[in-house]
Amino acid sequence: MSRNLLILGAAPDLGELRDTLVRLEDTIIFALIERSQFKHNSDIYKAGKMHFKDGYRGSFVSWFLKEVEHVHSKVRRYNSPDEYPFTDNLPEPVLPPLEYPPVLVDPQNININDEIFNVYVNTVVPGITSDGDDKNYGSSATRDIECLQALSRRIHYGKFVAESKFQDPKTHDEYVRLIKEKNRDRLMELLTNTRVEELLLKRLKAKAIIYGQDLSTASLDANGNINSGCSLLATTASADASDERVKSRVNYDLVVSLYRDYVIPLTKEVEIEYLLHRLD
């Protein structure tokens, strides 16, 4: 069973953080699979396409997200240092506040959810869905919110990663020097671990291939076990070695590119911004 890293009272080490980030990979992949079952339904992302009796003028997804976050705010979701809302001016909690040990410096000051929202709506959704409109607006928006919240949590975990790296005795003095110099480029070099990123992308591709397969087409033996020749088992070993297309409920190359082109760079952006304010 994993530990609650938010109540430790000190920055968790990178090993514990990686365990959390690996579990978030699963959450994100399954959320993308769930969203991909519906058409693009582009109207839900366009302001003015739906008329709200409360006078709201944004898109259906933005309205839905705002309403969900209002409820979540009332039950203290955004009191947690690893949760960040997309909506401004949220109501205060109706429950007594939870006290978290002060692990992060100014934990709520850095929020890049606007960037995450734009990437998701303009790049991710068109990539994982088929063109068209199936009128499943509520279901699509529900899945969108699950994806957005998971991506936001994953990316803003960069603050905990940055704090853990900052506290490492091996590199602490170097971080302090670079922060004082405001040396973004050198900070980026110091916090980047290319080998870890390469392994992450390989693991993501394997997961997306396996999780995305339709098991209703799996070949079963008389005892209900998956036959050894089934593509589910075959692709486990060949996910990194073959470019052969495997029928999947989600575009696994898009999952990889999402992390490579957006999740990893945005996480590093959060880490850099956090570190530059670490000594304030």
Catalytic residue among 83, 146, 163, 271: 271
Catalytic residue among 154, 159, 205, 268: 154
Q: Is residue 3 annotated as part of the catalytic site, yes or no?
A: no
Catalytic residue among 16, 67, 197, 269: 197
SS3 string, 210-235, reads HHHCCHHHCCECCCCCECCCCHHHHH
Q: Is residue 154 annotated as part of the catalytic site, yes or no?
A: yes
Q: Is residue 271 annotated as part of the catalytic site, yes or no?
A: yes
Helices (H), 37-124: 60-74, 113-119
Catalytic residue among 20, 267, 268, 273: 267
Q: Is residue 165 annotated as part of the catalytic site, yes or no?
A: yes
Say which residues have a Cβ less than 8 Å from residue 98's Cβ, sequence separation at least 6. 76, 79, 80
Q: Which residues partner with 275 through β-bridges?
A: none
Cα(first)–Cα(last) distance of the chain, in Å?
Answer: 36
Radius of gyration for the alpha carbons in the chain, expressed in angstroms and rounded: 21
**Encoded tokens for 226:** 């998956």
Catalytic residue among 143, 153, 165, 268: 165
Catalytic residue among 193, 217, 227, 236: 193
SS3 string, 139-190, reads HHHHHHHHHHHHHHHHHHCHHHHHHHHHHCCCCHHHHHHHHHHCCHHHHHHH
Q: Is residue 193 annotated as part of the catalytic site, yes or no?
A: yes
Q: Is residue 217 annotated as part of the catalytic site, yes or no?
A: no
Say which residues have a Cβ less than 8 Å from residue 255's Cβ, sequence separation at least 6. 28, 29, 32, 204, 205, 208
Residues belonging to the active site: 18, 154, 165, 193, 197, 267, 271
